[in-house]
Structure 1
Amino acid sequence: MSQFAGLVNLGSRVLEVLPKVGISSDAPTDRGAFLRLLHAAKRVPIHSRGAVGHSVERRTLLGVFISAFLDEVALLARGGLLRQYKSLNDDLRVVRGRLQVPRQAAVHGMRPDVISCRFDELSIDNPRNQVLRAAMAVVRPWIESVHAARRLTELSAAFDGAGLVRDAVALIDGLPPDRRALRYQAAIRWAELILRLLSPNLRSGGSAAPEMLFDMNRLFEAAIAANLKERVRPLGIDLAVQDTSHELEERDSHPAFKLKPDMVLRRNDSLAAIADTKWTAVAPGRSGRIEPEASHVYQMNAYASAFGCEDFYLIYPWNPSIDSAAPSVFHLKRRGGAPVRLNVVCVDVGSDDFPARHGSFYFLDGSV
Structure 2
Amino acid sequence: MIQVREYATLHSDQTSFATLDSARVSSQTLAWLRELGQSQGSRFIRDSGAHSIQLGSYVGFLQSPTGEAIEILPKTHRQPPSATEAQRSRQLLQKMLAISLGITPRSAGPANLQQQPLPLHEWIFSQFLQALSRLLKRGLRSDYQRRAEESRFIRGRLNVARQAQQTPDRATWFHIEHDIFSPQIRENRLLKSALEITLKLCANADNWRLANSFNQQMAAVPANPVPLAELPKWRSDRLMQSYEAVKPWCRLILQNLNASFTQGEHRGIALLFPMERLFENYVAHSLQQTLPPGTRLHTQASSQYLLKHKPEGTETDGRWFQLRPDLLLESDTTGGGRPQVAVMDTKWKLLNGHASNSSAKYKLSQADLYQLFAYGNYYMDGRGHMALIFPAHGDFYQPLPRFSFSDSLHLWALPFNLHSQQLVAGDWQAYFPGLLHSPETETLLSQ
- Band of TM-score, shorter chain: 0.7 to 0.9
| Match for residue 213 of structure 1 among 254, 266, 272 | 272
Q: Which residue of 1 aligns with 2:140?
A: 81
Counterpart code for 1:10: S
2:193 pairs with 1:158: no
Counterpart code for 1:20: K
Counterpart code for 2:253: I
CA RMSD in angstroms, aligned pairs only: 3.8
Q: Which residue of 2 aligns with 1:328?
A: 400
Q: Which residue of 1 aligns with 2:323?
A: 259
Task: Please show how residues 204-243 of structure 1 align to structure 2 within 5 Å.
Answer: 209-232=268-291, 234-243=292-301
Query: Kindly tell me: are residues 37 and 361 of structure 1, through their superposed partners in 2, closer, same or farther at Cα, counting changes over 3 Å?
Result: farther
Q: Which residue of 1 aligns with 2:19?
A: none
Which structure would you say has the larger RCO, counting Cα contacts within 8 Å and 6 or more residues apart? Answer: 1
Q: Report how far residue 277 of structure 1 moved.
A: 0.3
8 A contact 1:136–1:156 mirrored in 2 = yes
Distance 1:166 1:245 in 2: 42
| Match for residue 63 of structure 1 among 98, 101, 122 | 122
8 A contact 2:187–2:234 mirrored in 1 = no
Q: Report how far residue 77 of structure 1 moved.
A: 1.4
8 A contact 1:285–1:291 mirrored in 2 = no
Distance 2:59 2:394 in 1: 21
2:422 pairs with 1:355: yes
Q: Which residue of 1 aligns with 2:377?
A: 305
Counterpart code for 1:273: A
Q: Report how far residue 333 of structure 1 moved.
A: 3.8
Q: Report how far residue 220 of structure 1 moved.
A: 1.0
8 A contact 1:217–1:279 mirrored in 2 = yes
Counterpart code for 1:4: Y
| Match for residue 409 of structure 2 among 308, 333, 340 | 340
Q: Which residue of 2 aligns with 1:129?
A: 188
Distance 2:274 2:372 in 1: 22
Query: Kindly tell me: are residues 256 and 134 of structure 1, through their superposed partners in 2, closer, same or farther at Cα, counting changes over 3 Å?
Result: closer
Q: Which residue of 2 aligns with 1:295?
A: 367
Structure 1 unaligned segments of length 5 or more: list them: none
Counterpart code for 1:303: Y
| Match for residue 345 of structure 2 among 259, 276, 282 | 276
| Match for residue 251 of structure 2 among 192, 215, 226 | 192
Distance 1:263 1:141 in 2: 41
Cα-to-partner distance string for 1:160-183 (whole Å, 9 max, x where unaligned)? 11113433333325x364623344
2:227 pairs with 1:168: yes
Q: Which residue of 1 aligns with 2:335?
A: none
Q: Report how far residue 40 of structure 1 moved.
A: 2.4
- What is the TM-score when the length of structure 1 is the normalising length? 0.79
8 A contact 2:107–2:114 mirrored in 1 = no
Cα-to-partner distance string for 1:155-212 (whole Å, 9 max, x where unaligned)? 2233111113433333325x364623344344343233323444344669xx964422
8 A contact 2:290–2:435 mirrored in 1 = no
Cα-to-partner distance string for 1:53-100 (whole Å, 9 max, x where unaligned)? 9957821111110011112212221222121223365879x9965799
8 A contact 2:57–2:274 mirrored in 1 = yes
Q: Report how far residue 152 of structure 1 moved.
A: 1.8
Deviates more, 1:269-278 or 1:60-69: 269-278
Identical pairs, percent: 22
Distance 2:94 2:129 in 1: 17
Structure 2 unaligned segments of length 5 or more: list them: 1-43, 45-55, 311-316, 333-337, 437-447
SS in 2 for 1:156: helix
SS in 2 for 1:228: helix
Counterpart code for 2:324: K
Query: Kindly tell me: are residues 145 and 367 of structure 1, through their superposed partners in 2, closer, same or farther at Cα, counting changes over 3 Å?
Result: closer
Q: Report how far residue 9 of structure 1 moved.
A: 3.0
Distance 2:225 2:402 in 1: 59
8 A contact 2:71–2:120 mirrored in 1 = yes
8 A contact 2:191–2:250 mirrored in 1 = yes
Distance 1:6 1:99 in 2: 54
Q: Which residue of 2 aligns with 1:245?
A: 303
SS in 2 for 1:21: coil
Distance 2:259 2:205 in 1: 24
8 A contact 2:405–2:411 mirrored in 1 = no
Counterpart code for 1:366: G
Distance 1:190 1:346 in 2: 31
Distance 1:291 1:125 in 2: 56
Distance 2:391 2:426 in 1: 12
Cα-to-partner distance string for 1:128-179 (whole Å, 9 max, x where unaligned)? 2111112111211333443333322332233111113433333325x36462
